[in-house]
Amino acid sequence: MTRPRSTLVLADGTAFEGYAAGFTPEGGITTGEFVFNTALSGYQEVITDPSYAGQIITFTYPHIGNYGVTPLDDEATRPWCRGLVVRDLSPLRSNWRSSEELEAFLTRHGVPVITGIDTRRLTRHLRSHGALPGAFGVGERAEVDRAAREATGTDGRDLVSQVTTPNPYTRGEGELHIVAYDYGIKETMVAQLAHRFRVTVVPAWTSAHDVRALDPDGVFLSNGPGDPAALGAHVKEISDLVGTVPIFGICLGHQLLATALGATTFKLPFGHHGSNHPVRDVTSGRIEITAQNHNYAVAPESLARAVVSHVNLNDGVIEGITAAQERCFSVQYHPEAGPGPHDARYLFERFDHLLRTGQLETK
């Protein structure tokens, strides 16, 4: 297959040459914040994770697309990422579950791709200089350079409003009733909750008053994209719920809960994106291999009303907190996985225990 030439330029002027694939946007150029993901498989789940809104995903694994795609692996109704960077985009699929080639899926959903890139060099650059905004496309080099200089990252941006559900919906038939805030919730996350509870998923802007009117046994705060510091209105609603109902948060939900408890957040240099991050449970000493996808973290010195429950063994970042008196806990990583290991799915059982007893289980 003959592909048109494409150029990738980061905001600091670093450039890469490759070939265009997938969808061609108007003007031929796409912009976003470049991050890298180290997962060896599960590219469809990664691409359809709403937490990547505003970002361009670089896959460190060289061969992407070789097992195609299937609707069974979608984490949302559509991809929200701004584009993909891959070393080798496979034109052929080989898997009995697949129903479509990856490139056809990306074209249908409007996701631009640049392939043929030295993703090792790009990843090393992002590790050294941090996640960077930039651009890629088939336009004139001067136009790509200009787009890269004008590109913005995720700092200070509310991206949740783009990805949240417009209307409430329900799943599951459990004895206990959970209200789940959708800040960009993944389908696997909903499935794990619905396996145990009756779940009402509500839009991100739902007020604490309206949540209490649903008479939930507990509240769940989902993952999502963007800067938690830009979501003050959502933090206010969570603050109104803290202490009145048990709360469990994941990823962005963890950051928002921590903020509601008085903590602050900061941006990591290049974030945690992958399915092999080691995390230690502070209380039990147990080590979990976890799936992660976040650019922001909770500042340790800012914690006052909660204690650290989990830490990342790679860099010491806070990976979980508990506030026993307020019946709240949260983790930065993704216990539902999709893709990734299932080591941490016990946390959903811990939520069930909290709802039934009012006590946080720590073993």
Residues marked as catalytic: 251, 334, 336
Residue 161, φ and ψ in degrees, nearest 5: -65, -20
Between vectors from CA 96 to CA 93 and to CA 101, what angle results, nearest 5°?
Answer: 25
Is the backbone peptide bond immediately before 225 cis, with ω within 30 degrees of 0? no
Does residue 274 contact residue 291 with C-beta atoms inside 8 Å? yes
- Listed in order, strand segments (DSSP E) in the chain are 5-10, 15-22, 29-37, 55-59, 63-64, 83-85, 88-89, 112-115, 132-137, 169-171, 177-182, 198-203, 218-221, 247-250, 265-281, 287-298, 307-312, 318-323, 328-331
Residues contacting 189, CB < 8 A, separation 6+:
222, 223, 250, 334, 336, 338
Count of CB atoms situated within 10 Å of the CB of 362: 13
DSSP 60: S
